[in-house]
Amino acid sequence: MTPAEQIFDYRFPNVDCATAILTLSRPLAELAASHGWTLETWQEGGLGDASGVFLRLGSGHTVLLMELRHEIEHFGATGPTAFVDGAVLATHGLADLLAEVLATLGLTEHDVSWIATAGSQQSAIDFVNDMRNLPPPPSVGPPDSYMHTVNPREDDIELECYGELDRDRYPIRWIRKYSDGRFETCSYAQANWRDMMPEGVIPTVSEINDLSGFSAHAISASEFEATWRLALGFK
Render pLDDT for 12-45 as a digit per residue (tens, 0 to 9): 766 567 888 999 999 999 999 999 999 998 877 6
Mention every residue, 6+ apart, whose C-beta is less than 8 A from residue 202: 147, 163, 165, 169, 170, 171
128 and 150 together in one domain:
no
**Domain presence at residue 150:** yes
**Domain presence at residue 140:** no
Residue ranges in 40-135 assigned as alpha helix (H): 69-75, 86-92, 94-105, 119-133
Mean residue pLDDT across the chain: 86
Laid out side by side, the sheet with 171-177 consists of 183-187, 171-177, 160-165, 145-150, 215-218
Q: How many CA atoms lie within 13 A of 133 on its CB side?
A: 6
Domains in the chain, number: 2
Q: Show which of 113, 133, 153 is a domain's final residue.
A: 133
160 and 89 together in one domain:
no
**Domain presence at residue 111:** yes
Q: Which residue has the higher pLDDT, 7 or 182?
A: 7
120 and 22 together in one domain:
yes
Q: Show which of 112, 133, 154 is a domain's final residue.
A: 133
Q: Show which of 76, 107, 133 is a domain's final residue.
A: 133
Read off φ and ψ for residue 210, nearest 5 degrees. -80, -15
Q: What confidence tens digit (pLDDT) does each residue in 162-193 have?
A: 999 999 999 999 999 987 788 889 888 776 77
Residue ranges in the chain assigned as alpha helix (H): 28-35, 69-75, 86-92, 94-105, 119-133, 193-196, 205-209, 221-232
79 and 104 together in one domain:
yes
- pTM of the entire predicted model: 0.61
121 and 158 together in one domain:
no
What's at 123, amino acid-wise? Answer: S
**Residue-level pLDDT at 193:** 78
**Could you tell me the residue range of the domain that residue 12 belongs to?**
5-133
**Domain presence at residue 138:** no
181: left (phi over 0), alpha (psi -120 to 50) or beta: left
85 and 163 together in one domain:
no
Say if strands 81-85 and 18-24 run parallel, antiparallel, or are unpaired: antiparallel
Read off φ and ψ for residue 48, nearest 5 degrees. 90, -155
79 and 179 together in one domain:
no
Among the residue ranges 113-117, 158-162, 211-215, the one predicted with the least confidence is 158-162
Q: From 202, 79, 80, select the one nearest 149 (Cα to Cα).
A: 202
202 and 225 together in one domain:
yes
28 and 60 together in one domain:
yes
Q: Report, as an integer, the average pLDDT of 60-67.
A: 93
